[in-house]
A and B are shown apart, each in its own frame.
Chain A
Amino acid sequence: MYTALIYDGSFDGFLTSIFVSFDLKLEKVNIVKSQFFQDSFFEEKETIITDKEKADRVWLGLKKKIKPIELSRMYYAFLSENATVENALFMAIKYVFKSKDNVASNFSNPYILEISKLSKNVSREKHRMEAFVRFKLTKDNIYFANIEPDFNVLPLITKHFKNRYADQKWMIYDLKRNYGIFYNLEKLETIQLSFNNSFDPTKTNASYFTDSELEFQQLWKDYFKSTNIKSRKNMKLHIQHVPKRYWKYLSEKSPI
């Protein structure tokens, strides 16, 4: 019989679930985020309370066993929020702990392969977000950007932005997952905002943003246009590099 382990959706919660499944010697588990859980007659049910200590024990155990790059592949895959990723990670982690040698790069194992593929997708979008974030300067002197990535890449990109924008306050907000990261010149904070109904993330409302903000967006749009060589036009390549789903928040692609 399967046991459903219901966790809060955090990475530590997930690792706690792994700890519990090992602790209770559960062979057949279905690790599921509480928001997606559906009760079933054919499953036992266990609610996991996130426990940092237990989570760390699993993480450190893995760290001793596999290489840093393999470890980060697992974290990246988790952030894909793919429906089967918890199961794949559970099977892969079990496989890693059971084997004597390091097998975390044995791609003939279907779970290891799946993790590698998912992590590649996440890593691609991480890089895209580092490129496609467009800050707008608010009246409170905060550089604000909203994003809607396919995967939960926000935790992966903050270090990049912190290294680069050390002297300005900035905030990147994931509208899809409703949380953001705020840098207050000292450190990073995770925050949740409630937006006014009149707030349209695709527009630059003059009551929130500085007067010069629209001017710089216009200059950027102009630059984008002038730097194009018409006789070399290649829209297929353009769209391949800048997929349409990201256009909404790219100032150079949106009509003002």
Chain B
Amino acid sequence: MSFERVQEKLNILADAAKYDVSCSSSGSNRTNKNKGLGDASASGICHTYTEDGRCVSLLKILLTNHCIFDCAYCVTRKSNDIKRAAFKVQEVVDLTINFYRRNYIEGLFLSSGIFKNADYTMERLVAVAKKLRLEENFNGYIHLKSIPGASDELMREAGLYADRLSVNIEIPTEKGLKLLAPDKNRADFLKPMKKVKNEIIQYKSEKKIIKSTPKYAPAGQSTQMIVGASGENDMEIMYTSNYFYKNFNLKRVYYSGYVPISYDNRLPQIGTPVPMLRENRLYQTDWLLRFYGFNIEEILNNDHKSLDLDIDPKLGWALRNLHEFPIDVNKAEKRMLARIPGLGMKSVYKIINARRYGKLNWEHLKAIGVALNRAKYFIICASNEYERRDLTAQKIKGLILQNSKSKYTKTLSNQLNLFG
């Protein structure tokens, strides 16, 4: 391995891969075999954090940034005048193994620009994973990108070596995709995703009968959407996300605030701030759908197409549905507890456990970790003190905003004036 050449390639190909936000290394069940190297069975580990505060868990690189496509939102698009490089299969294997042995990483996240065609590219990605598994006896985490349009045969093989597979749909709507990536089409994205989904189901059912059935993508599939590049509203983004969770059994959908990288006039110009707050609100909504028992129609619908920026989506829902409140924390069932603003699922479980031994009052709720500054308008507990005024939604929102400090206050100052 020539140090200088690998160093230059790594700089180019890690820089190009950084817009992929997924870094999860959990969810697999691959254990160390035959005294080999690595173990991906534990929960994920973030080995370090970049200065932007994102976790570094995997060696995240592109195999190459040569690409035949010209998607406007992508740094590696064909028409972009940047340095190009390509790793050899062995170079990626060596880097992964040496980083892993030093406890820098949990494994590899390998993506690629598309060179020649989909199958040719996918074949290379699979070759890296295969070499790591079979020649190096590597049991760490491997996340491979499924290349849109890759053949079923290759996708089947990919799942045998990778823990997770993902296809980034990037643009939430078909109309946006036509505008920004005219040479790509939706069906190409869906094909490998569908194949992997079906294989996972098949392998799982076979495993029940024959124990020695090999693992197939044990950490499932994920995807990513860019937020704020092509003018979609939150409703379009979350409905797309919901569609993918439901129809493709995805483990995660990631939302990536668009980082302006081009002067293309179809896109936000360089210097436009990254929509981090909006990204945060989308993740909150995603959590409400997956863990809090909300339906997407309750949070986003035709009367309410975008998420509030100044308050979280659960509080937003509660303010639109004041007739559901106040909720008695000592009696309410889990489903309703989870809908109280200021209560996370951890608090919900703690309340359910604690109320078996006695009635809970404000002190108890505070000790449990409930954010009372928000929750107090929506609950009653074992106390004579509770919100007796018949407050309007607008008034409650004003009071909460007045008495809380958001880390986004700076970003928000414009909107805050409207309600002050």
**Looking at the complex, which of A50-58, A72-80, A90-98, A225-233 is the stretch in contact with chain B?**
A225-233
Is B259 touching A130 in the complex (CB atoms < 8 A)? no
Check A166/B103 contact, CB under 8 A, given A131-B48, A237-B49. Answer: no
**B212 touches A (CB below 8 Å):** no
Is B95 touching A219 in the complex (CB atoms < 8 A)? yes
User: Once the chains are docked, how many angstroms separate the CA of A230 from the CA of B270?
Assistant: 13
User: Once the chains are docked, how many angstroms separate the CA of A135 from the CA of B102?
Assistant: 4
Is B53 touching A238 in the complex (CB atoms < 8 A)? yes
Is B51 touching A166 in the complex (CB atoms < 8 A)? no
**A250 touches B (CB below 8 Å):** yes
User: Once the chains are docked, how many angstroms separate the CA of A135 from the CA of B104?
Assistant: 8
In the bound complex, residues from chain A placing their C-beta under 8 Å from that of B14 are 222-223, 226-227
B381-414 CB mask vs A (1 if < 8 Å, else 0) is 0000000000000000000000000000000000
User: Once the chains are docked, how many angstroms separate the CA of A131 from the CA of B18?
Assistant: 21
**Shortest CB distance A246–B (Å):** 10
**A196 touches B (CB below 8 Å):** no
**B295 touches A (CB below 8 Å):** no
Other-chain residue from A135, A161, A227, A236 in contact with B18 (beta carbon distance below 8 A): A227
Q: How many residues of A contact B (CB 8 A)?
A: 47
User: Once the chains are docked, how many angstroms separate the CA of A165 from the CA of B37?
Assistant: 6
In chain A between 150 and 183, which residues have their CB closer than 8 angstroms to a CB of chain B?
Answer: 160-161, 163-168
In the bound complex, residues from chain A placing their C-beta under 8 Å from that of B276 are 232
Other-chain residue from B42, B49, B102 in contact with A160 (beta carbon distance below 8 A): B42
Is B102 touching A220 in the complex (CB atoms < 8 A)? yes
Other-chain residue from A134, A164, A231, A241 in contact with B49 (beta carbon distance below 8 A): A241
Check A167/B37 contact, CB under 8 A, given A216-B98, A238-B53. Answer: yes
**Shortest CB distance B410–A (Å):** 13
In the bound complex, residues from chain B placing their C-beta under 8 Å from that of A163 are 31-32, 39
- Chain A residue nearest to B49 in the complex (CB): A241
24 of the cross-chain contacts (CB-CB < 8 Å) are: A131-B46, A132-B47, A132-B48, A134-B102, A137-B102, A163-B31, A216-B98, A216-B99, A219-B10, A220-B104, A222-B10, A223-B10, A223-B14, A224-B56, A227-B15, A228-B18, A228-B51, A232-B276, A234-B51, A234-B52, A237-B52, A238-B49, A241-B46, A241-B55
In chain B between 1 and 56, which residues have their CB closer than 8 angstroms to a CB of chain A?
Answer: 3, 6-7, 10-11, 14-15, 17-19, 31-32, 35-39, 42, 45-56
Is A167 touching B137 in the complex (CB atoms < 8 A)? yes
Other-chain residue from B7, B37, B56 in contact with A227 (beta carbon distance below 8 A): B56
**A62 touches B (CB below 8 Å):** no
- Chain B residue nearest to A185 in the complex (CB): B35
Is A229 touching B35 in the complex (CB atoms < 8 A)? no
In chain B between 89 and 104, which residues have their CB closer than 8 angstroms to a CB of chain A?
Answer: 95, 98-99, 101-104
In chain A between 126 and 150, which residues have their CB closer than 8 angstroms to a CB of chain B?
Answer: 127, 130-137, 143, 145
B231-248 CB mask vs A (1 if < 8 Å, else 0) is 000000000000000000
**A235 touches B (CB below 8 Å):** yes
**Shortest CB distance B320–A (Å):** 31
User: Once the chains are docked, how many angstroms separate the CA of A134 from the CA of B274?
Assistant: 33
A206-225 CB mask vs B (1 if < 8 Å, else 0) is 00000010011011101110
Other-chain residue from B32, B47, B259 in contact with A131 (beta carbon distance below 8 A): B47
**Shortest CB distance B202–A (Å):** 30
Other-chain residue from B10, B104, B137, B260 in contact with A134 (beta carbon distance below 8 A): B104
**B315 touches A (CB below 8 Å):** no
In the bound complex, residues from chain B placing their C-beta under 8 Å from that of A134 are 102-104
**A191 touches B (CB below 8 Å):** no
Instruction: Bin chain B's interface residue count.
Output: 35 or more
Is A241 touching B53 in the complex (CB atoms < 8 A)? yes
In the bound complex, residues from chain A placing their C-beta under 8 Å from that of B31 are 163
| A→B interface (CB under 8 Å) | 127, 130-137, 143, 145, 160-161, 163-168, 212, 215-216, 218-220, 222-224, 226-238, 240-242, 250, 252-253
User: Once the chains are docked, how many angstroms separate the CA of A224 from the CA of B55?
Assistant: 11
**Shortest CB distance B32–A (Å):** 5
In the bound complex, residues from chain B placing their C-beta under 8 Å from that of A145 are 103
B55-97 CB mask vs A (1 if < 8 Å, else 0) is 1100110000000000000000000000000000000000100
User: Once the chains are docked, how many angstroms separate the CA of A94 from the CA of B317?
Assistant: 50
In the bound complex, residues from chain B placing their C-beta under 8 Å from that of A236 are 53
User: Once the chains are docked, how many angstroms separate the CA of A127 from the CA of B48?
Assistant: 12
User: Once the chains are docked, how many angstroms separate the CA of A145 from the CA of B46?
Assistant: 18
User: Once the chains are docked, how many angstroms separate the CA of A133 from the CA of B45?
Assistant: 12
- Chain A residue nearest to B354 in the complex (CB): A107
User: Once the chains are docked, how many angstroms separate the CA of A229 from the CA of B101?
Assistant: 26
- Chain A residue nearest to B19 in the complex (CB): A229
Is B7 touching A218 in the complex (CB atoms < 8 A)? yes
User: Once the chains are docked, how many angstroms separate the CA of A218 from the CA of B8?
Assistant: 12
**Shortest CB distance B238–A (Å):** 22
Is A168 touching B101 in the complex (CB atoms < 8 A)? yes
In the bound complex, residues from chain B placing their C-beta under 8 Å from that of A229 are 18-19, 50, 52, 54, 259
Is A222 touching B259 in the complex (CB atoms < 8 A)? no
- Chain B residue nearest to A135 in the complex (CB): B102
- Chain B residue nearest to A241 in the complex (CB): B49
**Shortest CB distance A103–B (Å):** 13
- Chain B residue nearest to A217 in the complex (CB): B102
**Shortest CB distance B277–A (Å):** 12
Is B32 touching A164 in the complex (CB atoms < 8 A)? yes
